[in-house]
Amino acid sequence: MDQNSDLILVLVTAPDQDSAELLAKTLVEKKLAACVNLYPGLKSIYRWDGDVHEDKEMLLMIKTQATLFEDQLIPLVQELHPYDTPEIIALPIVAGEKNYLDWIQSETEIK
């Protein structure tokens, strides 16, 4: 197990497959993510504008660098996302297989 404090896992939900795929492909094409996993069939129960809602969504699991999160990844997700307030949450990757972590790092290096 290798450690790399600069890498993060970003969670974003999307209302449908088309929105999720657009976000995922754009993030990878722009080197803001090394990989994005799409998980369909998510059911979200949440409070919004005082009411409780239940919606089917897709979860995006985005592997990237912490240095890209605030200034580049968040604005791009906000621009492309159909929600007014999309879920964008970052979790630190505290450990992982060294070659995989190195790959995330190299795929998200913007020159």
Block residue for tokens 């007014």: 84
Chunked in runs of 10, what are the mean pLDDT values of the chain (111 residues)? 78 98 98 98 95 97 97 98 96 94 93 64
Tokens for 3, please give them: 């450690």
Q: Could you write out the three-class secondary structure of 70-99?
A: HHHHHHHHHHHCCCCCCCEEEEECCCECHH
Instruction: Locate the DSSP E strands across 19-50.
Output: 35-48
Phi, psi of 71 (to 5 degrees): -85, -20
Coil, helix or strand for 107?
Answer: helix
What is d(CA 20, CA 65) in angstroms, rounded to the nearest whole number?
Answer: 20
Can you give the pLDDT at residue 110?
76
Domains defined for the chain, CATH in brackets = 7-107 (3.30.70.120)
Residue whose C-alpha is closest to residue 7's, from 84, 74, 67: 67
**Cβ–Cβ under 8 Å, residues 81 and 19:** yes
